[in-house]
Structures are given as structure tokens and as C-alpha cells.
Structure 1
Amino acid sequence: MAKTIAYIRASTDKQDLNNQKLEIFEFAKKNKLEVDDFIQMTISSRKTSKERRIDEMLSVLDDADTLIVTELSRLGRSTAEVIGLVNELIKKQVRVIAIKQNLDMKQHDMNSKIMITLFSLFAELERDLISLRTKEALASKKRQGIQLGKPKGTIQKSKFDKDAEKIIELLALGLSVRKIANFLGYSNHIGLNTYVRKRELRNASIGMSG
């Protein structure tokens, strides 16, 4: 018998999980669907697919089953990863519903095939743009003689050190510290904000945004 599985994920906010669950219940009721089970995680997107229970989700979904998510971004760390997973599910003849995007994808549905193709193109474009912007920003910084990496004078090590260059790049692109924390999988954006301030990373990012 075909079943309907809902996958919900949030970094640390349990309220977000509850909101996702409520949204899925309301959608299911409106569309006369019955959710048989929830696979939920409160974990960083930077974890492995096993830790995010993606492998578990794939193992329980069979032909003619339905997967519901509030939005496609819950399924992966990047557009490319999301598209790869959706393609895998469609090949298994699993119906994929993304509520916020108003998508209902099935294997033999032409609209679904068109949407997947478009998303794949967007994923490739996203990778190219990020790579280009990063290279241009780093080149601009080097031309101005700005030293990449941790500012001098750092007294103690920090868990954020390994992502220092990435943080500078994202600041230069105009992302807020909160968004950077979410993007890099850190639960405490306040700690990251302190790190950015003490290391004066905003100053380092100015040259990259010019």
C-alpha cells in the first residue's frame, strides 16, 4: 500500500520544526492526503546524508509513495544536491511535493520533467556564479594587498578559524552574520558575530565588495 512520508529539518529551532509539521498537516488536509510518518531532524545541513536521515528516507520510500517537504531546500545543502536527490526519488517513482514552491513532481508528468530540467540548469548556473564571484572577490582583495586569512594579532584559536576566508567572502557578498551562521551550519550566530567583530573581518571584507 502506498504511503505518504513527510521530511522536516531545522538547524536548531524546534519551533521551526513544529511550524513545518503544521504546514504539512494543513496541506495534507486540504489535499485529502494522510501523512503516515514524519522523518524529522534538528541538525546542521553540513552533516552527512546519513546524519540528516536522508538515507533512511530513501530506504523507506517505495514505488508510488509520496514525499512531502515544506520547501526543497530542506532536502540538501545545495541546489545541486537537492536536484540529485529529487531525480533519484522520481526514478524510484516516488511522488515529490514541495509546498512553498507549489511543486508536485511525478515520473511520467511532463511538467515535472520540465521543472527538474530547469532546476538542474539553475543548479549549474548557481555553481558557476558562486565560483566566479569568489574568484573575482579574492583577486580584487589581492590587488589591494589585503592579506587573506585570519587577521594578525589573534590571541586564541576559535572554531570559526577554519571558515575565516569563507566568512570574509560571504560578508563581502552582503550576507548578514545570522545568514552566514546558518549557511555554514553554526547554531550560535551570536558567537560568530563576536568572532567577526574581534577579528575585524568586516574590514577585511570591504576590499572584496568593492
Structure 2
Amino acid sequence: MIYGYIRVSTDKQTVENQRYEINQFCNKQAIVVNKWIEETISGSKNVEDRKLGKLLKKMKNDDVLICSELSRLGRNLLMIMGVLNECMNRDIQVWTIKDNYRLGSDISSKVLAFAFGLSAEIERNLISQRTKEALARKKAEGVILGRPKGRKSIKTKLTGHEKKIQELLNKKVSFSAIGRILNVHRLTVKSFVDSKLKIAI
């Protein structure tokens, strides 16, 4: 199967230029696009959240993905490399027109796939290292990271139900009954009342 993939970032852009380029290319190569995939979405969105991700999942060995240029696959290099690496590992060919890439199962593509995979791993390691360094710097500056030790979250299951609980308590409704009404254990109600409402029972 030959798939033509077209992506624009906003609805103000037109898909017609990309479709024309792909059709012109196919005419010269004497091939036909079996299925078109078009989407209007930012290239920074995760591939899995785009039509491209769904397409890649169903593509098979020796299928061909044609797009006008590599930038249609993603906004940044890491994302593009991830797509190309997956395609080459699964023997899916990727052809681009403006960039004139022909990525398939030949030896040069496999070498390129290795380079892509290595580059992606290096980039991930760099991002991880930068994150660790930033956290270490903040810690050295005395910034408390995360929730302070021993401190509980301010929010509980009953947060937002204070007024209702107060009304029920005023009517002498038991903790057990309140728990059934609010779908929590009676001890949860008692703990909430003791710590939040400050009511002497």
C-alpha cells in the first residue's frame, strides 16, 4: 500500500499544495497513492495523538509513506527521528519529495536508522541530565522539592462538602449515616470533622 500523508498546522493553511506535490511525484514515478491521510494539527503534538500515529500502527512491511517533506512528520528532530526509526525497524518505506529522502530496508537506511536511534538516545540522556542538574541546583539553593516530608495534601475526599456535612451534623445525623450519603467510611467523616470543621463531638 502507498499512503500519502498531508499535515497542516492551522485551518488557514491549505492541503492542496502538498497534495499537488505528491501527485506530481507519483506521476513521474508511475505509481498511485492508495490512501490519503490529511490532518490539521500542530506538529508538536505527540504522534500517538495524531492520525499519523494511527496510520503507523496499521502499516505493514513494504508499505510506503509519502509526504512533501520531513517536517510534516513532526515539529522537532527528536520526534521525526522517532517516526523514521520505527518505520525502518518495521520495513516501512518513507519517501519525502522536497528533502528527496528514500528510507527503506537497504543497508544505507539501516545505517541511518542506527544513527537516528543513537541520536534519539543521546538527546533523551541530555534532557534527563539537564533535568537532574536543574533539580540539584534548586536543592542547593534551598528550594524544597515536592511535598514536604510528613505533610499531607490539603485536599481530601470530602473537600467541598463542608457545608453539607455541617448541616447534617446540625441535624444530629451520625458519622455512619453521613458516610453512606457521601460514599465514604465513617472514620473518614470523623477525621474530616475533627481536622477541618473543628467541631466538638
Place the TM-score, normalised by the shorter chain, in its bin.
Answer: 0.5 to 0.7
The answer to whether the Cα contact below 8 Å between 1:70 and 1:100 also exists between their aligned partners in 2 is yes
- Partner of residue 99, structure 1: 97
Quickly say closer, same or farther: Cα 1:51–1:123, change in 2 above 3 A: closer
What is the alpha-carbon root mean square deviation over aligned residues?
2.7
Deviation, 1:25, is 0.6
Listed as ranges, the gaps of 5+ residues in structure 2 are: 131-201
Deviation, 1:64, is 1.4
Name the CA distance, whole Å, in 1 between partners of 2:121 and 2:98.
Answer: 22
Listed as ranges, the gaps of 5+ residues in structure 1 are: 133-210
Deviation, 1:112, is 1.5
By relative contact order (CA 8 Å, sep 6+), the higher-ranking structure is 1
The answer to whether the Cα contact below 8 Å between 1:14 and 1:42 also exists between their aligned partners in 2 is no
Deviation, 1:20, is 0.7
Q: What secondary structure, in the 3-state scheme, does the structure 2 residue paired with 1:50 have?
A: helix
Letter in 1 for 2:71: S
Letter in 2 for 1:82: I
- Partner of residue 110, structure 2: 113
- Partner of residue 69, structure 1: 67
- Give the TM-score normalised by structure 1: 0.53
Deviation, 1:75, is 1.1
Name the CA distance, whole Å, in 2 between partners of 1:48 and 1:125.
Answer: 20
Name the CA distance, whole Å, in 2 between partners of 1:92 and 1:122.
Answer: 19
Name the CA distance, whole Å, in 2 between partners of 1:71 and 1:17.
Answer: 13
Deviation, 1:60, is 2.7
Deviation, 1:47, is 2.6
Instruction: Report which of the two structures shows the higher radius of gyration computed on alpha carbons.
Output: 2
Percent of pairs with identical residues? 38
- Partner of residue 46, structure 1: 44
Q: Note the 1:164-175 alignment, pairs <5 A.
A: none
Name the CA distance, whole Å, in 1 between partners of 2:65 and 2:5.
Answer: 7
Name the CA distance, whole Å, in 2 between partners of 1:119 and 1:40.
Answer: 26
Deviation, 1:118, is 4.7
